[in-house]
Chains A and B, each alone.
Chain A
């Protein structure tokens, strides 16, 4: 029955949104009341942040490289090859640095959180935690949320820096630009608003990765097959949310800073 199916789909969607909102709200509220599991926060920072440094460096660096390479063709038509540094820096700091870093972290960590928490759910470890007097949201979700938001902020800065460095390498070695001119052009083009925009996106993305990853992990059902499904859904949904929120934050920042 199509009507019954539509009704069931609508109900499930509303229930999922409600469940997600409650989980995210509780995870945030737990940051401001004891007990705070500092050891778990630092463990997650190491796992999510330090563990992601290699992929973030590689992604950022080669994105900067390819950006410089591709922009040269377009800029040459206007005699503006010297503006390569400016283009790479603005693209990296405002858009590609935060978004690509978030997508990489989503692939690596939203999946990791969903599978870890999903496995704990299907093996009754979450219930055991509750039975032993611990709030699983406080113990498992809040540390991941704090760690992801904090570390993604700094990983984005790393990505921006290595991206600009990658662009510099290509500009100097392949395009024959002057290194000092590239650096100067990059630095001069960046305004306060650009940096704020990029880093705001990082904070939002961190929130999305952790809450979506944990949400799908905590509602896993159906054994190992369910864990696989939760992992896939976490990556897909968090990636789509990151792109949507990227657009919304960009629009907001343009209305605040003007460009």
Chain B
């Protein structure tokens, strides 16, 4: 398994400053039902933001707003310092070229092989076939799925599909990675494998990322572990330490109930939050 992948693409100097994602008073509703109400938060460069909350509280909607797949009814959203809430779809593609997204149910293209799924963006960018194939092999090796290159999504297990989905999201070395419930519906062992992959990606590429999870255990694994390139394994940070770049955003009933780091979350006095994380 390779220990390193390409670092995120170099950016223009002025874009290296400031937060990667900024939500300012964002609201959205579907058929008169508010989903997110006046949400504000920021995600700094290199940060891993874990998004928690009960089912149906708008986590996936928030993720789609970050990638411009949905537009807010009010408020502003900036990604890489650029307002995206009023951007035409064509202009949005330039932002999305720097974002990788892992969908809840993997969303692999059924009619394409694993290799073609992963190389999809590279083909769209007109990368020469030989170079694209090399990158696909490299990234499949990273997610430990070398043998699946010529298979079709229907031949893969749930865990393998998620790993292919992660491979597709990171193949172009994006600056921002969005994981929408990468462990949802998986058994605990497979979930740990996927979280190990997320930790590995975080510690190897240092890309900014947002991750939705329903499993608190996964969230704390991410906060309390690091990837050791020497042993090629995830291991607990010594002396009960935590990863300082990992932060939490907890949503409930369409609003933000918590935004802070692991220690603040663990020591919260909010009764609802205490109950939620217990």
Contact = CB atoms under 8 A, between A and B. Distances in A.
B211 to A, nearest CB: 16
B124 A127 contact: no
Contact of A131 (B96, B105, B110): B96
A135 B92 CA distance: 11
Interface in B83-125: 89-90, 93, 96-97, 99, 101, 103-105, 107-110, 120-121, 124-125
Nearest to B168: A132
Contacts of B109: 125, 128-129
Interface residues of A, number: 13
B206 interface: no
Interface string A124-159: 110111111111000000000000000000000000
A127 B96 contact: no
A21 interface: no
Contacts of A134: 120, 124
Contact of A127 (B64, B99, B110): B64
B103 A127 contact: yes
B179 to A, nearest CB: 12
Given A124-B105, A127-B64, A132 B121 contact: yes
Given A132-B120, A132-B121, A132-B124, A127 B107 contact: yes
Contacts, number: 46
Main secondary structure, interface of B, reads mixed
A147 to B, nearest CB: 16
A123 interface: yes
Contacts of B47: none
Given A131-B69, A132-B121, A133-B124, A124 B104 contact: yes
A225 B263 CA distance: 45
Nearest to B122: A132
A133 B96 CA distance: 6
Interface in B136-169: 168
A129 B108 CA distance: 10
A36 B109 CA distance: 20
B96 A124 contact: no
A129 B99 CA distance: 13
A124 B124 CA distance: 19
Given A127-B64, A127-B69, A133 B97 contact: yes
B67 interface: yes
Interface residues of B, number: 22
Contacts of B108: 125, 128
Nearest to B125: A133
Contacts of A124: 103-105, 107
A132 B121 CA distance: 6
A127 B89 CA distance: 12
Contacts of A128: 101, 103, 107-109
B59 to A, nearest CB: 14
Contacts of A119: 110
B121 A125 contact: no
A124 B120 CA distance: 16
A5 B121 CA distance: 45
A128 B169 CA distance: 10
Contacts of A135: 89-90, 93
A127 B105 CA distance: 12
Nearest to A119: B110
A132 B118 CA distance: 10
B259 to A, nearest CB: 25
A133 B67 CA distance: 11
A119 B105 CA distance: 13
Contacts of A130: 69, 89, 96
Contacts of A123: 105, 107
A119 to B, nearest CB: 8
A127 B107 CA distance: 8
Q: Which 6 A-B pairs have the closest CB atoms?
A: A128-B107, A124-B107, A131-B101, A132-B121, A124-B103, A133-B93
26 contacts: A119-B110, A123-B107, A124-B103, A124-B105, A124-B107, A125-B107, A125-B108, A125-B109, A127-B64, A128-B101, A128-B103, A128-B107, A128-B109, A129-B109, A130-B96, A131-B67, A131-B101, A131-B103, A132-B96, A132-B120, A132-B168, A133-B121, A133-B124, A134-B120, A135-B89, A135-B93
Given A125-B108, A133-B121, A135-B93, 6 more contacts: A128-B107, A129-B109, A130-B89, A131-B96, A133-B93, A133-B96
